[in-house]
Amino acid sequence: MMPPLGIRWTIGDVNPAGFDALRLSIHGAMRLFGSEAAYRIYVNTIPVDEARRRVGAIADAVQWLPVDSDIPPLLRTYLGDGMAEGVAWKLLPLRAFPDQFELSLDNDVILWRIPPAMTQWLRSGDAAASLIAADVAAAFGQFTDLCAPVARNSGIRGLGPATAFERGLERVLRIKPVALRSELDEQGLQIAVLDHLGSPLLVETSEVTICSPFYPHDPELGRSGAHFVGLNTRVLPWDYYGKPATEVRLAHWHAVRPQVHERLGLDPPQQ
């Protein structure tokens, strides 16, 4: 038996491929966790109705909310004007399901099997247990010195109902009271908090690959899922072996989409 679970995503005005990935991420989560879980998407920078339209028919199966523009006092001091580079959208609100196990997925994380570490997190009986995804390289921004030297990313983050996430944030920001300037700072902050609270369980990259055509990422799908990093960006401002990186990124996505659909039990995608 799984404990009560809430799953949350955050989406903004990203590349259309990012909305395609979100659609498949919803399909995957609902296929794995069914009607017993709660599903919620927080929308920033675009109207909720527009985000729903871009996702398609499955949008009706989940709850959609605008991100509350009222930044928690705990974070307000550390955020610059304009939420530079989308920093901290994934922290608004701090908890979506405070009385449940809460799984936060990036919109470009698609699961077709529950990773073993996630099963362990949900069945451990430890309401304070947490979960994070492994990565192929460590990128923690200004919080590097507060994070254990293990490559991880916040594309998958799990909090138990008794995980003292807000208290951990307050503690880490007291130790390092710096303004968040990038998504790496946001990621490093979250991982520093989980390290401070205890050793989070780790979803290995063999289970959920950091999936892109760019080394050191893995172009192949994992046993349990894939995190399609870089898919949200409208323009990658560099070339990869003489080709525009944006074109290379999208070509890889379109090449693996049929496999993703198959693993989710969906009809082949329309080209």
Provide the Cα torsion 68, 72, 75, 80; round to 10°.
Answer: 50
Could you read off the pLDDT of 158-201 as tens digits, one per residue? 999 999 999 999 999 999 999 998 899 999 999 999 999 999 99
- Residues 104/200, Cβ–Cβ less than 8 Å: no
Per-residue pLDDT of 38-71, as tens digits, reads 999 999 999 999 999 999 999 999 999 999 767 8
CA distances from 216 to 40, 110, 238, 261, 264 (A): 32, 20, 16, 25, 26
pLDDT at 24: 98
> For residue 84, what pLDDT is reported?
43
pLDDT in tens, 7-19: 999 999 999 999 9
pTM of the model: 0.96
Domains by residue range for the chain, with CATH: 5-206 (3.90.550.10)
Average pLDDT over residues 95-113: 97
Strands of the sheet containing 201-203, edge to edge, are: 63-66, 38-43, 5-11, 101-105, 152-159, 130-134, 201-203
Does residue 78 have a pLDDT over 70? yes
Does residue 85 carry a pLDDT above 60?
Answer: no
Non-local CB neighbours of 168 within 8 Å, separated by 6+ positions? 193, 194, 196, 197
> What is the number of residues in the chain?
271
What are the pLDDT digits (tens) for 131-155? 999 999 999 999 999 999 999 999 9
Q: Which amino acid is at 235?
A: V
CB 67 within 8 A of CB 43: yes
How many other β-carbons are positioned within 10 Å of the β-carbon of residue 190? 28
β-bridge mates for residue 63, sequence order? 40
For the cut 90, the answer to whether the pLDDT of residue 112 exceeds it is: yes
Mean pLDDT of the 83-100 span: 83
Q: Residue 264 above 90 pLDDT?
A: yes
User: Which pLDDT does position 88 carry in this prediction?
Assistant: 85
